[in-house]
């Protein structure tokens, strides 16, 4: 059985010297940060749950600069932690020890957008929300959207294979990323930045880097297939009393809304309590379970009629007890924020134990109920929310401060429960530092061993994001 996910010992990488700093200052004039105060936020993750002690942050602007950095680090055996917006939730985005932080913050240039095909090509450090605004002015949208959009980078999104709120409609980044440019550990620039919908010439190498969490290469640019901006968007915020009703409503909704359904998300009443308490957001309705349904289509009258018919059916069949609908932008945003800001409300509640699992949809909420029963009053809050349409539950538990006894109650129980129900222990956040040693709950050892061989091939010295993603028994 896997070992608990404690920090491993520091591997024998070189320590940074004055000569190393001189080299970096020469290739990145004014873009080498060594001031400990400035480095603080890059050393700590968004959840404030893990902290490294890196002494240097590099801010390249071009792929060539990234290539020079990695070539040098590889020859000197210096470990590197690629970092985007530092919104990752599994401890993958910050160093564990003194790894050099390689930030994509200054690589934020949009290279091209083709309005006929909808293909966007940009550098890895473009902030997701900036890309969305850029595309909206050109009648398109990004195929992904998440609560961290104001900070996360597209390179970070690709590196984590982020799912988010629109996956139900537009699919995962494995489908919408058409090409990638990646700098390998030895500094080689791998140009797989195709902008083609179809390309079956050999192995699709870019797929390896989608979800590789900075362990196989540094993504420097991406080309992405972007949908047209829908002409009509509606959001319904509904309440129901049981999770069974929520699932029946999903079934009804898939049937009656069909092609215009673009999101089916949920949160429970405990999430709502935290939104009320910590963010002063008010409920539009009062129930045990809340559903956010979004429709996106091309004909407002047609979409509104479909939504109206669905809501009438859901209400008359008593699946849904209460609800409200928004068609104008500001109300749509307000309703969405009730779902998007749960993560933030949890951060205010206390130390957060965060689980992100895929499960057969009928069993999705049982894990929350079982966990509540198991940890009883020892936890401050036990909440469930997530992407029902994708079979993805976010189970979060909070306590006043980090509590090892509570953690021992939660893990490995949560992983055993998930494996027993044939789920995945990481649906969309990745494994990072925190979950790497639990990979065997979701993947056979033969598959993990092959991952180790791929890592050894692409990064033989293991300088790229060491201590992350792969379990400790698979490090080069
Ligand atoms: P970071 O956090 O900086 O890095 C994440 C990982 O990617 C690290 O392992 C890092 O080393 C690696 N990495 C970053 N950039 C590169 C690069 N250019 N090349 C190679 N490796 C790189 N995730 C979801 O899937 N769905 C959600 O709905 C969602 N919602 C969120 C909401 C909030 C409020 C927050 C705080 C997080 C949320 N996340 C979600 C998690 C997180 O935002 C995503 O994982 C996001 O994609 C990370 O992007 P980032 O730029 O912040 O990357
Ligand atoms: C979400 O769906 O809100 C994100 O994945 C973040 C989280 O799990 O808290
Ligand atoms: Zn999520």
Please tell me if the CB atom of residue 153 comes closer than 6 angstroms to any atom of ligand 2. Answer: no
- Sheet containing 218-225: which strands, arranged edge to edge? 110-114, 119-123, 218-225, 177-183, 189-192
What residues contact 195, with CB distance under 8 A and at least 6 apart?
A: 114, 117, 119, 121, 178, 179, 223
CA–centroid distance, 30 to ligand 3, in Å, is 37
Q: How far is CA 326 from CA 127, 228, 329, 457, in A?
A: 27, 21, 8, 52
User: How much is the average pLDDT of 297-316?
Assistant: 96
- Span 164-184, pLDDT tens digits: 999 999 999 999 999 999 999
Ligand 2: atom nearest CA of 147 is: 3
As a whole number, the mean pLDDT across the chain is 97
Q: Which residue has the tokens 């030895």?
A: 186
User: How much is the average pLDDT of 10-19?
Assistant: 97
CA dihedral for 139, 120, 144, 262, sign (positive or negative): positive
Kindly state the greatest CA–CA separation across the chain.
74
How far apart, in Å, do the first and last CA atoms of the chain sit? Answer: 21
- Span 231-287, pLDDT tens digits: 999 999 999 999 999 999 999 999 999 999 999 999 999 999 999 999 999 999 999
8-state DSSP, 437 = G
pLDDT at 441: 98
- Span 271-305, pLDDT tens digits: 999 999 999 999 999 999 999 999 999 999 999 99
pTM equals 0.98
For 265-290, letters b (16+ CB in 10 Å) and e give bbbbbbbbebbeeeeebebbeebbbb
Q: Identify the band that residue 433 occupies on the pLDDT scale cut at 50, 70 and 90.
A: very high
Mutate to test the pocket of ligand 1, among 50, 95, 156, 278 (most ligand atoms within 8 A of CB): 156
Cβ(364)–Cβ(243) below 8 Å: yes
Please tell me if the CB atom of residue 466 comes closer than 6 angstroms to any atom of ligand 2. Answer: no
Nearest CA to 94 among 109, 105, 106, 84? 84
Instruction: Give the closest residue (by CA) to ligand 2 atom 5.
Output: 164
Mutate to test the pocket of ligand 1, among 57, 69, 93, 128 (most ligand atoms within 8 A of CB): 93
CA–centroid distance, 6 to ligand 3, in Å, is 24
**The pLDDT of residue 131 is above 50:** yes
Ligand 1: atom nearest CA of 165 is: 28
Ligand 1: atom nearest CA of 469 is: 9
**The pLDDT of residue 333 is above 90:** yes
Please tell me if the CB atom of residue 146 comes closer than 6 angstroms to any atom of ligand 1. Answer: yes
pLDDT at 476: 65
CA 3 to chain CA centroid, Å, is 25
Ligand 2: atom nearest CA of 394 is: 8
CA–centroid distance, 369 to ligand 1, in Å, is 28
Three-state DSSP class for residue 414: helix
Helices (H), 380-442: 404-410, 413-420
Please tell me if the CB atom of residue 169 comes closer than 6 angstroms to any atom of ligand 2. Answer: no
Ligand 1: atom nearest CA of 92 is: 9
User: How much is the average pLDDT of 100-124?
Assistant: 98
Mutate to test the pocket of ligand 2, among 146, 150, 268 (most ligand atoms within 8 A of CB): 146
Query: What count of Cα atoms within 13 Å lies in the side-chain half-sphere of residue 272?
Result: 19
Please tell me if the CB atom of residue 52 comes closer than 6 angstroms to any atom of ligand 1. Answer: no
Classify the phi-psi angles of 77: left when phi > 0, otherwise alpha if psi is within -120 to 50, otherwise beta: left
Instruction: Give the closest residue (by CA) to ligand 2 atom 1.
Output: 386
Q: How far is CA 65 from CA 102, 258, 300, 422, 461, in A?
A: 11, 47, 48, 44, 20
**322 DSSP β-pair partners:** 239
ipTM of the complex: 0.99
CA–centroid distance, 160 to ligand 1, in Å, is 6
Provide φ and ψ at 398, rounded to 5°: -120, 155
88/432 Cα distance (integer angstroms):
9
- For residues 290 and 474, the model is more confident at 290
pLDDT at 38: 97
Three-state DSSP class for residue 104: coil
417/318 Cα distance (integer angstroms):
32
pLDDT at 7: 79
Three-state DSSP class for residue 126: coil
Q: Residue 150 CB: number of other CB atoms within 10 A? A: 12
**The pLDDT of residue 229 is above 80:** yes
- Cβ-in-10-Å burial (0-12, 13-18, 19+) of 376 comes to exposed
Nearest CA to 261 among 272, 250, 275? 250
Instruction: Give the closest residue (by CA) to ligand 1 atom 16.
Output: 156
462/468 Cα distance (integer angstroms):
11
Three-state DSSP class for residue 469: coil
- Span 370-399, pLDDT tens digits: 999 999 899 999 999 999 999 999 999 999
**Which helix (H) or strand (E) element contains residue 337?**
helix 329-340
By DSSP bridging, strand 100-103 and strand 57-58 are: parallel
- Span 356-377, pLDDT tens digits: 999 999 999 999 999 999 998 9
For 78-89, letters b (16+ CB in 10 Å) and e give bbbbbbbbbbbb
CA–centroid distance, 394 to ligand 3, in Å, is 7
Please tell me if the CB atom of residue 213 comes closer than 6 angstroms to any atom of ligand 1. Answer: yes
- Span 59-96, pLDDT tens digits: 999 999 999 999 999 999 999 999 999 999 999 999 99
CA–centroid distance, 33 to ligand 2, in Å, is 31
Please tell me if the CB atom of residue 356 comes closer than 6 angstroms to any atom of ligand 2. Answer: yes
Asked whether the bond before 95 is cis by omega within 30 degrees of 0, the reply is: no
**The pLDDT of residue 352 is above 90:** yes
């Amino acid at each position: 059985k896997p070992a608990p996910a404690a920090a491993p010992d520091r591997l024998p990488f070189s320590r940074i010297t004055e000569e190393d700093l001189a080299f970096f200052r020469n290739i990145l004039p004014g873009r080498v940060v060594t001031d400990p105060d400035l480095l603080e936020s890059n050393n700590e993750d968004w959840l404030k749950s893990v902290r490294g002690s890196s002494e240097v942050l590099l801010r390249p602007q071009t792929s060539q600069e990234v290539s020079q950095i990695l070539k040098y680090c590889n020859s000197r055996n210096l470990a590197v932690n690629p970092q985007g917006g530092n919104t990752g939730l599994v401890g993958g985005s910050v160093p564990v020890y003194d790894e050099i932080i390689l930030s994509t913050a200054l690589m934020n240039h949009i290279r091209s957008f083709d309005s006929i095909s909808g293909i966007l090509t940009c550098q890895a450090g473009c902030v997701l929300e900036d890309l969305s605004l850029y595309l909206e002015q050109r009648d398109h949208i990004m195929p992904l959207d998440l609560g961290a959009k104001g900070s996360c980078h597209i390179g970070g999104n690709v590196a984590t294979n982020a799912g988010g709120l629109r996956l139900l409609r537009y699919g995962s980044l494995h489908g919408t990323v058409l090409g990638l440019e990646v700098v390998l550990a030895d500094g080689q620039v791998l140009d797989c930045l195709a902008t083609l919908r179809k390309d079956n010439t050999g192995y699709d190498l870019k797929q390896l880097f989608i979800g590789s969490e900075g362990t196989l290469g540094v993504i420097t640019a991406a080309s992405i297939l972007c949908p047209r901006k829908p002409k009509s968007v509606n959001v319904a915020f509904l309440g129901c009393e049981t999770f069974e009703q929520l699932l029946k409503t999903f079934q009804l909704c898939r049937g009656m809304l069909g092609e215009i359904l673009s999101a089916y998300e949920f949160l429970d009443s405990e999430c709502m309590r935290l939104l009320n308490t910590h963010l002063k957001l008010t409920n539009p309705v009062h129930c045990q379970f809340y559903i956010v349904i979004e429709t996106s289509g091309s004909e407002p009258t047609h979409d509104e009629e479909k939504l109206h018919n669905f809501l009438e059916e859901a209400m008359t069949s008593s699946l849904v007890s209460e609800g409200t609908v928004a068609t104008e932008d500001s109300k749509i945003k307000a309703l969405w924020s009730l779902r998007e800001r749960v993560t933030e409300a949890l951060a205010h509640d206390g130390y957060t134990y965060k689980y992100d699992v895929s499960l057969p949809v009928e069993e999705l909420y049982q894990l929350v109920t079982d966990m509540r029963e198991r940890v009883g009053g020892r936890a401050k809050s036990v909440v469930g929310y997530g992407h029902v349409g994708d079979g993805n539950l976010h189970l979060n538990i909070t306590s006043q401060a980090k509590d090892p006894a509570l953690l021992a109650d939660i893990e490995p129980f949560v992983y055993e429960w998930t494996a027993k129900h044939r789920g995945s222990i990481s649906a969309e956040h990745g494994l990072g530092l925190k979950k790497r040693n639990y990979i065997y709950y979701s993947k056979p050892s033969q598959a993990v061993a092959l991952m180790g061989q791929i890592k050894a091939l692409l990064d033989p010295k293991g300088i790229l994001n060491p201590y992350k993603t792969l379990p400790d028994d698979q490090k080069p």
